[in-house]
Amino acid sequence: MRQDPAAYNLDPASGTPYEWAFSHVGLDRALNLTSGDPQVLVGIVDSGWAQIPDEQSKVAESWYYTTEGPDALDTGGHGTFVASIIAAPNDDGYGLAGYCGACRIVPFRVVNLNSFSVSAAIRKLVDEHVRVINLSLGGGPSFVLLDAINYAISKNVLVVASAGNDGASQVSYPAAWLMGENGALGWGLAVGASGRDDARASFSNWGTRLSLVAPGSGTSCSDGIWSALSPIASDFEDGGGCDTVVTDVTNGGKYAYAAGTSFSAPEVAGVAALVMAARPELTSSQVADVIEKSATRPSGVWQPDVGWGVLNAAAALELATGRSSADAVTLGAVQLIGSKFAGAAGSAWARLTWADGVTVSAGTADCTVRIRGLALHALATLNNGTATCGWTVPRGTVGAGSGTIVATDAEGNQTSVGFTFTVLAVPKPAKASKKKR
């Protein structure tokens, strides 16, 4: 369980977390196998980024065209929305949980999305040593753009692009250049959108060049993909539909539900960065292969409407590492307080965390305590991730003692830890010595 409110707070309208897609594709479990790597850079060609908590600490550097503005800050909102899906800091107790763990992003703000400006941005990001480039954009074919895509591929950069929102039977460019025909291994990932039911969203382009799909739509406009917005977000503030802006009363941040393949692609880009963190020696095409092979698909074969299936982050990390991503809990080292002497109260406590080190905030605890085979009355509690066992040693009872703390999280995962202690007899008061006359 992440410590980011959007990942666990329930939307009253749907009864599920605002950021439902995060757990839907197994990101929590994937993060059991790697927390990501800040050395893995994800480039983003979009409308820029915002100086907000969901993003600011994760920006390695940013770029922009001086002819389009004085900086790379986003006033449209689309780039901030995409960047926050990829890289919002995890477990900071604020806003969103990001898909890439500890990765960092390099946004390139492009206002005029023509083939020349996008191509130059791609080349610059490649030269800045990004490992992944997210392109939540699309259009027709362009030799200039194709050359830039090929430049990225030649430098072992994984390009992830959205398939388009026309409901057409042909993937838009540049995504169409990234995938081989009918499921053949390509050089990047062309990403369509799926809904909560894992079927292709009606607006999502499909066809022979589709790699896979990822959540990009909910059951309605009220529960699509949730992400953060820049303080000024003109693309989202025109009113109505899935782009209705909400201001979080607890932190003042702007958020919205939105739908589109633009928001499916960054989910895949974030997972690709996680795979690279876990297996840095893999080539970009090998990472693409891992993500495609691990996608969830009932038939087990490539299909033109969903490609290789729905993004499955947990399965991707399992395939990449050869290890299980199953949730597990663990109790840390036991700390003892009191109970040194007979008749005194004593306690032991230990921190309960999941496998990825995140504190377990909800669950139960139990414990047993014995001294020389005598079972003592003991009481256990679990509060804010601390499992505590308390007891009182009867008067006159001394010797070696032992105990066990058992803790269980809300999903039923259980762990235990033992401890030992020694109880001494209460020291007799010292007698005053008599002074000789």
CATH number at 415 reads: 2.60.40.10
Q: Is residue 201 part of a domain?
A: yes
Residues 365 and 331 sit within 8 Å (Cβ to Cβ): no
Among 264, 267, 271, CA closest to 317: 271
Among 414, 388, 399, CA closest to 334: 388
CA 116/CA 128 separation, integer angstroms: 18
Q: Is residue 234 part of a domain?
A: yes
What confidence score (pLDDT) does residue 228 get?
96
State whether 186 and 295 are in the same domain: yes
State whether 106 and 178 are in the same domain: yes
Phi, psi of 84 (to 5 degrees): -70, -35
State the alpha helices, DSSP H only, in 104-204: 115-127, 143-154
What confidence score (pLDDT) does residue 182 get?
92
State whether 280 and 417 are in the same domain: no
State whether 249 and 350 are in the same domain: no
Among 216, 115, 118, CA closest to 165: 216
State whether 228 and 82 are in the same domain: yes
Q: Is residue 437 part of a domain?
A: no
What confidence score (pLDDT) does residue 240 get?
46
What letters, b where the CB count within 10 A reaches 16 and e where it falls short, cover 298-326? eeeebbeebbbbbbbbbbbbbbbeeeebe
State whether 34 and 123 are in the same domain: yes
Residues 76 and 235 sit within 8 Å (Cβ to Cβ): yes
* pLDDT, tens digit, 9 for 90 and up, residues 51-91: 999 998 999 999 999 999 999 999 999 999 999 999 999 98
Overall number of domains in the chain: 2
Task: Decide which of 321, 337, 362 is a domain's last residue.
Answer: 321
* pLDDT, tens digit, 9 for 90 and up, residues 406-422: 999 887 889 999 999 98
H/E run at residue 401: strand 399-409
Task: Decide which of 321, 348, 374 is a domain's last residue.
Answer: 321
What confidence score (pLDDT) does residue 142 get?
95
Q: Is residue 430 part of a domain?
A: no
State whether 222 and 282 are in the same domain: yes
H/E run at residue 266: helix 265-278
State whether 317 and 340 are in the same domain: no
CA 205/CA 221 separation, integer angstroms: 19
Looking at the chain, the number of H-run helices and the number of E-run strands are 9, 19
pTM comes to: 0.82
Q: Is residue 100 part of a domain?
A: yes
Q: Is residue 431 part of a domain?
A: no
Helix, strand, coil fractions of the chain, as percent rounded to 5: 25, 30, 50
CA 114/CA 138 separation, integer angstroms: 10
State whether 366 and 291 are in the same domain: no
State whether 293 and 401 are in the same domain: no
State whether 236 and 289 are in the same domain: yes
Task: Decide which of 303, 321, 339 is a domain's last residue.
Answer: 321
Instruction: For residue 154, give the CATH number of its domain.
Output: 3.40.50.200
Question: Low-confidence residues of the chain, pLDDT below 50?
Answer: 240-241
Domain hosting 41: range is 5-321
State whether 272 and 255 are in the same domain: yes
Q: Is residue 433 part of a domain?
A: no
H/E run at residue 23: helix 20-24
CA 302/CA 300 separation, integer angstroms: 7
